[in-house]
Structure 1
């Protein structure tokens, strides 16, 4: 089971999360590519550290929305969104190459992630960008989502992902961040949810419904309070139940 986190989400003088410490815990890193967060120096630093620590690097692509951290939906034209995603993958690839690796997968961020999970146009734009860049790149996304279906139909590899620190709705979608139950804060509960997803392929929704959630990767958000402590606890908890390694 892979353990991933969102990294490189600072910008300029601003720092968000402890990238260095998280890279000691996770097996893959979703690196911000400069649109919703991140900048060239941050991308270089995170890629260099990831390579040194043997962590797989993925392009975390998002809306062109630094002010909103990519968490506000934008209704893009299909081709414009495709091109924005291509731009971000290419930017991160440059830093991967000079630090000794390459982009290994693509994962949408924030509002793009949630929109592509249900929207045909935006999911198709994500798929089109990956196909145009490198059809061997896997797409990291929610199981059962529109994006997963479109990617599979296009012949792409899909890595199903679950969220140990996010609330789920009964239909399997994530609870909107505007709601107070969007995040799971209790460390014991976060660990238990991660283990249950890894072992049983299911998660308990906010209403108590047990939702199928067959995943190969589990995400912890780098900007979640106590992210490093949570990630370490999740890895320790999963180690006794499953092999923790990159997909």
Structure 2
């Protein structure tokens, strides 16, 4: 499986309420009415930012960009992902319905490693951590530096799933011509983790964990750039074609 993840924020000319209404409503309806795209797409989830000042500060700081959303589209293969950009339904119906601020976006094309997992509900609270590594740091060095944090998270009460996402093979730039990703650089981060929790209390307790904060502080001093960041969100599954694949 290959997954495209896009972190974004609403345009300054739009209200956040309008953005969420349009994204959760019309955008999902358009995608569900694109049969060519649906034949290629395996799963589509929307991650809505938790703009909640009462939540504890996460171990890795939030990004200064003020992110509002993260969309994630899963495909069986890179070939299917590439084909989706040429699909007539995508071009006619989906491509033009762009809602977010085009001046700032993080896009990752990754494969996932499930480190710990139980069954997920339709919606789940999620801490997402994006890692930009210091020059010369290898993927294995990142894994080693993050191992203490991963161990702490795996033992956290209420943990549902822990997923490590690592960049997959690059895609030729011409694939994205005509789309909003034509000028967006992919995989500017070395990896990102998704850490799911069952409820708000468990989520808040982990965010407030002194052990988790200490583990991230140590990893940051060893391998992470200051531009690494967290995103707090609620994951909502909108399309699931995995059972029919």
Indicate whether the TM-score tops 0.5.
no
Q: Which has the higher contact order (CA 8 A, sep 6+)?
A: 2
Comparing both structures, which one devotes a greater share of its residues to strand? 2
Q: Which has the larger radius of gyration?
A: 2
**Which TM-score applies when normalising by structure 2?**
0.29
